[in-house]
């Protein structure tokens, strides 16, 4: 622990010296600065409300409560005595040690925790959240929402009602996609076909809209540049089949047909008054898509390990820069590879290189099936009521836990979580606009530095959008000038070539906002247990796809194996599930109305 503390202090001291000097020198100023308004807009009422006063009390070491949190997702643990975690602890009186999912599926991990009887104070159970509720292991949020307005502000009354369980109470809050004030979204956090910018540059930045065009450009690049600088071979395309994250393989037909991410089905709205559930696993586009993957596998353009690699192996492979393209949700891979992409590596000739500077970063493509006129990869903010941050009944002081979650939304603490320490991690110009210097940006790309210094509490309540000061973005990646200045040179060239200002511009669907009351329907399917007929069918559908989709991709007789797959799929009677999905669509229309 002493070693880690010394590392933390050394890194912080280094950053303090460099950042203070940078903040006191002339730096590029944001171009679109406006004066700060005196108040911010309330999400629910639209009325003007004064920004809350910054936290002023400082807790002594013996007053700080240590709590634990488990998130059923992959993540990176922070060092003991993490700099910003300690600052937040002194401001809130709570210090939380976060642990993450390793080597298990979410439901398995939650099942193990329940069986052990040893629960953390805070938890995001992911797909296992309902297990926690059904076992009576969670504290209801209801009384604390009234006590702590910061928390209640996250959603409107109607939105909070979507989180209510069958006993009428709320037991968790999903912390992602909450927009405060003006939407400043710059990224595509959801699904897309992702391609390295060096591939696009080599081809002269062409327009890519179809699977055929996509794989042609990958094949051409791999033929011209078969190796990385260290001599390892490039991989034109990989995919992930591990556990529930096999959506990377199985759900692209939904997107290729132009539909948003309802996850479990397509909801066809050709007749807006009569939305119809459609099974994307049996559409002509599904067959075309998997046949294309089969062709690419036969050519050697698809990763031969795609069917067996674990999630950790997948991330390790992406971190080498060898993978030219993939289909995945951004959050599932991108944050894990940022650190490795910023490291200095050695080529086989002894020269040095960095993956980000050689163009290995990814941009999204919104591929479409032939005849599809538009696509909906970018869906805007989504309300996932199926899981979220929760307080367990093992927590000895639930009020302190909810107060802590509320204080994390105080603007000064939120700034600490995402921007860092003023004059150390970011600077402020004469107009109150936050910005980072180049040395600051480089340090925030370092996994080592972030483990010792930054503390996002990333599965706790948070905001996107506009700061309560009315000027800045809640999170740096959405600060327009910071977003642009933080790009590598190859990325800047790519954005300029395509006339893009955000990653969403590569998809051409920024104005799309699914307002349908059932969206996203995966917030229903993620919570289905096996205690109903349709739940049992849903489980069997997944088992069939897990078994057969890798087979059809690797098949030497695609037509024959596709028919066998479809027969096995039909044998589990998916219509039982589809009927239940239609009932849920109808229920949500009745409950929430058509927007």
Same domain, 242 and 367: yes
Which residues contact residue 371 at a Cβ distance below 8 angstroms, ignoring those fewer than 6 apart?
none
Estimate to the nearest angstrom the gap between the alpha carbon of 453 and the chain centroid: 22
Q: What is the mean pLDDT of residues 414-426?
A: 98
Instruction: Output Rg (C-alpha) for the chain, integer angstroms.
Output: 24
Q: Residue 6 pLDDT > 60, yes or no? A: no
Instruction: Flag whether 419 is in a domain.
Output: yes
Q: How far is CA 496 from CA 344, 484, 489, 491, 505, in A?
A: 26, 11, 11, 9, 11
Residues 456 and 355 in one domain: no
Which pLDDT value is given to residue 43? Answer: 44
Which of 16-30, 359-373, 391-405, 464-478 is the least confident region? 16-30
DSSP state of 238: B
Average of pLDDT values for 72-92? 95
- Tokens describing residue 330: 């951004």
First CA to last CA distance, the chain: 54
Q: What are phi and psi of 466, to 5 degrees?
A: -105, 135
Residue at 10 is within a domain: no
Residue 368 within a domain: yes
Q: CB–CB of 411/54 below 8 Å?
A: yes
Q: Is residue 175 classed exposed, middle or buried when 0-12, 13-18 and 19+ CB atoms within 10 A define those classes?
A: buried
Answer yes or no: is pLDDT of 32 > 70.
no
CA dihedral sign, ordered 474, 479, 485, 491 = positive
Spatial CA neighbour of 400 closest among 101, 63, 1:
63
For the stretch 121-137, pLDDT in tens is 999 999 899 999 999 99
Q: At what angle do helices 284-299 and 533-554 cross, to 10 degrees?
A: 40
Cross-strand partners of 266? 278
- Total domains in the fold of the chain: 2
Query: Do 295 and 344 share a domain, yes or no?
Result: yes
pLDDT exceeds 70 at position 406: yes
Q: What is the pLDDT of residue 593?
A: 74
Token pair 């992702």 is found at 194
Question: pLDDT for 283-324, tens place per residue?
Answer: 999 999 999 999 999 999 999 999 999 999 999 999 999 999
Helix (H) or strand (E) holding 398: helix 398-407
The answer to the question of residue 444 being in a domain is yes
Average pLDDT over residues 129-148: 96
Please classify residue 595 by burial: count the beta carbons closer than 10 Å to its beta carbon, then call 0-12 exposed, 13-18 middle and 19+ buried.
Answer: exposed
Same-domain pairing of 366 and 437: no
Asked if 335 and 412 sit in the same domain, the reply is: no
For the segment 406-418, the average pLDDT, to the nearest whole number, is 98
H/E element holding 345? strand 345-346
Distances (CA, A) of 167 to 137, 164, 250: 14, 8, 34
Confidence (pLDDT) at 463: 98
pLDDT at 69 over 70: yes
Residues 364 and 244 in one domain: yes
Cα 249 to Cα 553: distance, rounded to the nearest angstrom: 10
**CATH number of the domain enclosing 301:** 3.40.190.10
The verdict on 324 and 339 lying in the same domain is: yes
Q: What is the pLDDT of residue 366?
A: 94
* Element housing 45 (H / E): none
Residue 508's pLDDT band, with cuts at 50, 70 and 90, is confident
pLDDT band at 528; cut points 50, 70, 90: confident
How would residue 470 be classed by pLDDT, with cut points 50, 70 and 90?
A: very high
In a domain, 571, yes or no: no
Q: Which of residues 478, 506, 534 is at a domain's end? A: 506
Task: Answer yes or no: are the C-beta atoms of 388 and 163 closer than 8 Å.
Answer: yes
Helix boundaries (H) for 348-479: 398-407, 411-418, 438-443, 447-452
User: Quick one: 203 and 337 in the same domain?
Assistant: yes
pLDDT value for 23: 78
227 lies in some domain: yes
pLDDT of residue 35: 33
374 with 421, same domain: the answer is no
Contacts of 580 by beta carbon, 8 Å cutoff, 6+ apart = 532, 534
Cβ neighbourhood burial of 325 (10 Å; 0-12, 13-18, 19+): buried
Tell me: do 78 and 211 sit in the same domain. no
Does residue 26 register a pLDDT over 60? no
| Residue 509, pLDDT score | 63
Q: Is residue 183 part of a domain?
A: no
Take residue 582 and report the two structure tokens written for it: 């239609």
Q: What is the pLDDT of residues 192-240, one digit of tens each?
A: 999 999 999 999 999 999 999 999 999 999 999 999 999 999 999 999 9
* Beta strands per DSSP E along 458-535: 464-465
pLDDT, tens digit (0-9, with 9 covering 90-100), for 100-115: 998 888 888 999 999 9
Between residues 9 and 249, the one the model is more confident about: 249
Q: Which of 45-54, 60-69, 271-280, 501-510 has the lowest mean pLDDT?
A: 45-54
Asked if the bond preceding 215 is cis, omega within 30° of 0, the reply is no
Write down which residue in 476, 506, 536 finishes a domain.
Answer: 506
My answer on whether 215 and 165 are in the same domain is: no
Q: What is the pLDDT of residues 340-355, one digit of tens each?
A: 999 999 999 999 999 9
Q: Per-residue pLDDT averaged across 565-577, rounded?
A: 98
Alpha-carbon distance 233 to 304, whole Å? 13
Determine the structural domain holding residue 354 and report its residue range: 191-258+284-380+486-506
Helix (H, G, I), strand (E, B) or coil at 389: strand
Could you tell me if residue 2 is inside a domain?
no
pLDDT level of residue 36 (50, 70, 90 thresholds): very low
Say yes or no to pLDDT of 16 above 60. Answer: no
At 577 the three-state DSSP class reads helix
Cα separation, 104 vs 161, in Å, equals 31
| Sign of torsion over alpha carbons 534, 535, 536, 537 | positive
Percent of residues, the chain, with pLDDT higher than 90: 81
| Res 203: pLDDT | 98
Tell me: do 344 and 233 sit in the same domain. yes
Given a cut of 70, whether residue 250 has pLDDT beyond it is: yes
Asked if pLDDT for residue 513 goes beyond 60, the answer is no
Residue 421: closest CA among 432, 429, 410, 413: 413
**Helix, strand, coil distribution of the chain in percent, nearest 5:** 45, 10, 45
64 secondary structure, DSSP code: P
Q: What is the pLDDT of residue 510?
A: 57
> pTM, whole model, 2 decimals?
0.86
Mean of per-residue pLDDT scores for the chain: 90
């Amino acid at each position: 622990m002493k070693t880690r503390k010394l590392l933390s202090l050394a890194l912080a001291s280094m950053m303090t010296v460099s950042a203070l000097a940078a903040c006191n020198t002339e730096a590029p100023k944001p171009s679109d600065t406006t004066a700060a308004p005196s108040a911010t807009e309330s999400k629910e009422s639209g009325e003007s409300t004064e920004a809350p006063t910054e936290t002023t009390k400082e807790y002594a070491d013996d007053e700080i409560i240590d709590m634990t949190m488990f998130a059923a997702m992959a993540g990176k643990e922070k060092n003991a005595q993490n700099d910003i975690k300690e600052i937040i602890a002194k401001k809130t009186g709570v210090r939380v040690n976060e642990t993450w999912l390793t080597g298990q599926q979410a439901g398995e991990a939650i099942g193990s925790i329940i069986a052990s009887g040893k629960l953390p104070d805070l938890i995001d159970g992911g797909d296992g959240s309902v297990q926690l509720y059904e076992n009576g292991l969670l504290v209801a949020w209801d009384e604390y929402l009234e006590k702590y307005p910061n928390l209640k502000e996250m959603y409107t009354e109607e939105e909070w009602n979507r989180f209510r369980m069958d006993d009428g109470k709320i037991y968790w809050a999903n912390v992602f996609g909450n927009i405060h004030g003006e939407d400043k979204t710059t990224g595509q956090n959801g699904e897309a076909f992702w391609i390295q910018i060096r591939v696009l540059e080599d081809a002269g930045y062409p327009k890519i809209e179809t699977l055929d065009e996509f794989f042609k450009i990958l094949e051409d690049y791999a033929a011209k540049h078969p190796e990385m600088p260290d001599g390892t071979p490039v991989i034109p395309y990989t995919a992930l089949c591990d556990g529930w994250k096999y959506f990377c393989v199985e759900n692209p037909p939904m997107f290729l047909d132009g539909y948003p991410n309802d996850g479990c089905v397509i909801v066809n709205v050709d007749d807006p008054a009569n939305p119809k559930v459609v099974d994307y696993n049996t559409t002509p586009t599904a067959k075309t898509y998997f046949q294309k993957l089969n062709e690419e596998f036969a050519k050697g353009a698809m990763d031969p390990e795609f069917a067996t690699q674990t999630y950790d192996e997948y991330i390790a492979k992406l971190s080498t820069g060898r993978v030219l393209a993939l289909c995945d949700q951004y959050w599932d891979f991108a944050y894990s590879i940022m650190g490795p992409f910023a490291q200095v590596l050695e080529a086989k000739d002894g020269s040095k290189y960095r993956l980000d500077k050689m163009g290995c970063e990814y941009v999204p493509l919104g591929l479409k099936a032939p005849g599809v006129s538009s696509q909906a990869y970018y869906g805007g903010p989504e309300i996932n009521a199926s899981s979220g941050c929760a307080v367990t009944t093992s927590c000895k002081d639930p009020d302190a836990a909810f107060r802590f979650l509320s204080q994390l939304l105080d603007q000064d603490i939120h700034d600490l979580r995402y921007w860092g320490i003023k004059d150390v991690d970011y600077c402020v110009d004469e107009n109150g606009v936050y910005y980072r210097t180049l040395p600051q940006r480089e340090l925030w790309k370092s996994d080592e530095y972030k483990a010792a210094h930054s503390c996002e509490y990333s599965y706790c309540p948070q905001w996107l959008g506009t700061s309560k000061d009315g000027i800045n973005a809640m999170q740096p990646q959405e600060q327009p000038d910071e977003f642009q200045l933080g790009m590598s040179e190859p990325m800047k060239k790519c954005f300029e070539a395509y006339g893009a200002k955000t990653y969403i511009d590569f998809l051409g669907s920024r104005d799309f906002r699914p307002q349908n009351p059932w969206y996203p329907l995966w917030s229903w399917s993620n919570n289905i247990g096996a205690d109903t007929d349709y739940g049992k069918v849903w489980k069997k559908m997944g088992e069939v796809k897990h078994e057969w989709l890798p087979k059809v991709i690797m098949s030497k007789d695609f037509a024959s194996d596709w028919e066998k797959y479809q027969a096995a799929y039909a044998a589990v009677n998916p219509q039982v599930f589809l009927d239940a999905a239609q009932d849920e669509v109808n229920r949500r229309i009745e409950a929430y109305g058509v927007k």
